[in-house]
Structures are given as structure tokens and as C-alpha cells.
Structure 1
Amino acid sequence: MAVPAPRPRLGPAYRRHASRLVILAGALGLTLGGCSFDLGSWGSDDKPKTSAPVADKPADTITSQDISSAKDQAARGQDLARAGKTDEALAAFDQALTSDPYNIQALYGRGVIYQGRGQHQQAVEDFTAASGLSPQKAEPLIGRATSYLALDKAREAAADLDEAVQASPNNVAAWSARGQAYERLGDKAKAAASYNRALALRPRDESARSGLARVGG
């Protein structure tokens, strides 16, 4: 497996969207650079639905011991990430994916770390793999949409968030982020509808309230 790329310098494009990313991160329950996340009962017992997303390791060569080791490393990575030890967490997620390239928790967790470091293309790749392995989950779609917005790909972000709200209609983060995507695209009607839905689900959502004020909903 390739060694993770070093943390890049924050260029003009990243700085331009920093404030938007902080708002989105709050809505998604992510802390940029701090990696606050929880995948709940997600596991890696799902049968692979796509080709190997990370390593050139055929599915039929993955043993039960590999799967167990990956689960342990992924859980360790989450604990380290929550403690703010992102370098160690990244190493744990990498180790998990070396054992089992289909471990969804490791893919998602590593994507969150990459996102927090501004490595958005790498985050997109991990969120894409996680989403392909668990297409009914909204979280990887929301994560990928956040990075798409950082990469000035609002249309792709909106498409992901359309899918996310279908998969999880009561997901406040998905609706709030969808509002921001459509606001970026200049579609005030869809942005307002999304922010209103987020507020209906969580009346004190300040991100959605601010967004609604911006689009005049």
C-alpha cells in the first residue's frame, strides 16, 4: 500500500473555502483536524459489492483472521482519532486496510482524516469505496460531498446529497449540506427547501438557519 501523502500546504483555493468547510464539518459531526465521528454498528462483515477498493488483494484471499485483525485496527484507529492522535489513527486505518481492503470503518475513518487535512481527492477516493461497499449509508455520501465542495465540484456534491437524503430522510446533516450545495449552484429554491427540512428536523440548527437567511427562504 502506498505511503500516505504528507500534509499539504493550504493553498488559496483551500483557504477560500475554509469557512464553508468549518460550517459543513459542524453539520456533519466532523471536526476538521480533530476527527470526531462515529459509525455506530458499521462493520466489515458485508460481502464486497465492488472490486477491491484499496489494495490489489483478491477477496478470496482474505481470511477470517485478516477480517478480525482489520476490525481491531479500525476500532483502534477510531479511538486514536477521537483522542486527536491522527497520525497514529491513520497508521491504524492503513494497517486495517492492508489486512482487509473492504473494511468500511477504516475506509470512512481514513477519509475523515484526509478531509481534515485538506487532502480532499484522497478523501473522495476513500468515501467512494466506503459508499460502494455500503450504498444504503448516508455518511460516506455526505463526507464525499463535503470534499467535493472543497474541490469546487458543487454539482457532484449536490448529486451525492440528493442520494443521501433519499437513503436517510431524517438526516439533518444531509439536508443542511444539501442546502449549501444548491446554494453554491445558485438554486435558491432547492437550497431553501433543504434548509427548511433541516430546521424542521432540528429547529436549533444554526448552520441551516444561517443558510436559509442567505437564500431568503
Structure 2
Amino acid sequence: MMAVPAPRPLFPEPAHRRRAPHLVIIAVALGLPLGGCSFDLGSWGSDDKPKPAATADKPAADTITPQDINSAKDHTTRAQVLARSGKLDEAQAEFEQALKADPYNIQALYGRALIHQGRGQHQQAIDDFTAASGLSPQKAEPLIGRATSYLALDNARQAATDLDEAVQADPNNVAAWSARGQTYERLGDKAKAAASYNRVLALRPNDGNARSGLARTGG
């Protein structure tokens, strides 16, 4: 995984003034895989995942065959390997093929979202994170990812909403609590920010970013 940078304020100036490096800092602090870390969600995307109702632009779930599901898994596995090797164009093409075969493949949605996010295509990333979260609402990772893109679009309020959901879905997720602290700090809510940083330190006592955040928020 990426190394966490030395403690520093995550939001020292408005995002529109230096958006690209700002997003990278956010991603590193959250442990999000921009630039070749794991795109694999482990047990996500099992065959018994819930299928949403069909819409005009998506096929009915019962039109997806077992062969389609297996094909999507193969494309997704190849895409993950390519992504970890930094071959993002080829990885995205494989994720696209996976989603053509099975539009409900959560790993492919999440992986494509990370590629969009790394390229600064935040609305596309939000769309894919939203779809992945809808398919597996108990998972924190798509919510954290979507919050990161909302922050890059200067929508800290929506990011906070996602991170509130993320810590409810996974109360022991350090990345979610850390991002929540940073987001509420940006919004000027020092009490919620400090509470989040305290939770990070309860889970990871040597977290320098959380200690620095706690000092800034008076927690």
C-alpha cells in the first residue's frame, strides 16, 4: 500500500487552486489505490450479490447468464493485474468488457471508478462508486471513494454525508474515520472532526495525521 505522508493539514487551501496534487494527498491519506495499489475487493462480487431492478439502459438481471458472469470475472481479474502494473488504459478496457458482460460486477465498477478518479474524471467516478455502493451498501470503500471525488469537486457537505454512512457501515475503518475528521475540519465542525480523529487514534494509536488533526481541532 502507499505510504502515508508526514502529518500536515489536509486542506490548507481551496481545492480549486491546486486540485490535482490535492486529490493525490487525499487519496494517499485515505489509503485509496491511485496509481497501482490493489484494485481487488476480495470477497466482493460473489455470484449471489443482489441484482437491482432493470432500467432502460441496463439489461434485466435474468438475461445475464452464468457464462456472462464468468467472463466478467475473467476480464476483471485481468484488469486488476493490469492496473497494479500501471497499465491503466488496458485495465480500463478490461473493466469495460467485464461490465458489458455483467453490469452488476462490483469489482469492475469499483476498479473503473478508481481509474476515473485518478484521471480527475470525478463525475464518472462518482457514478461508478454510486453503482458499486448500491450493489453492496454494507461496504465502506465505495463511500470513501465517492467522498474523495466529492471533495475534489469542492462538495465537502456531500462527502461528509458519505463518510457518516461509511463509519456506520464499518465502525473500525480507519480510513473512513480519518477522512471524516478531515472533511468536518474543512467544514469548520471541530467537534465532529475531533471525535473522528479520536476514533482513529483508538484504532491506530500511532497515527500522526490524526494526532496533528486533533491538535488543530482542540480535541
Work out whether the TM-score is over 0.5.
yes
**In structure 2, do the counterparts of structure 1 residues 58 and 33 end up closer, same or farther at CA, with 3 Å as the change threshold?**
same
Give runs of aligned pairs for residues 71-90 of structure 1, distance below 5 A: 71-90=73-92
Verify the 8 A CA contact 2:20 2:120 in the aligned structure 1: no
Q: CA deviation at 1:190?
A: 0.3
Q: What RMSD in Å do the two structures reach over aligned CA positions?
A: 2.1
For the pair 1:156 / 2:149, whether they are aligned, the reply is: no
Contact 1:53/1:101 (8 A) holds in 2 = no
Q: Compute the displacement of 1:195 (Å).
A: 1.1
Work out whether residues 177 and 196 of structure 2, in 8 Å CA contact, stay in contact via their aligned partners in 1.
yes
Task: Count residues in correspondence.
Answer: 206
- Extract structure 1 runs of 4+ deviating beyond 3 A: 12-15, 17-20, 33-38, 46-49, 51-55
C-alpha displacement of 1:56: 2.5
Deviates more, 1:69-78 or 1:49-58: 49-58
| Superposition pairs of residues 17-166 of structure 1, within 5 angstroms | 17-51=19-53, 56-166=58-168
Unaligned runs of 5+ in 1: 1-11
The DSSP-based 3-state class of the residue aligned with 1:147 is helix
Quickly say closer, same or farther: Cα 1:87–1:142, change in 2 above 3 A.
Answer: same
The alpha-carbon distance between structure 1 residues 35 and 57, as it changes in their structure 2 partners (threshold 3 A), is farther
Code of the aligned partner of 2:63: T
- What is the alpha-carbon distance in structure 2 between the residues aligned to residue 31 and residue 134 of structure 1? 19
Query: Is contact 2:27–2:34 with CA below 8 Å preserved after alignment?
Result: yes
Q: TM-score normalised to the size of structure 1?
A: 0.87
2:208 is aligned with 1:206: yes
Unaligned runs of 5+ residues in structure 2 are: 1-13
CA–CA separation in structure 1 for the residues paired with 2:176 and 2:24: 15
Whole-Å separation in 2 of the counterparts to 1:189 and 1:55: 44
Deviations 1:49-79 (A, max 9, x none): 4345895322121110000000111111111
> Counterparts of 2:20 and 2:68 in 1: how far apart (Å)?
39
Percent identity of equivalent pairs? 79
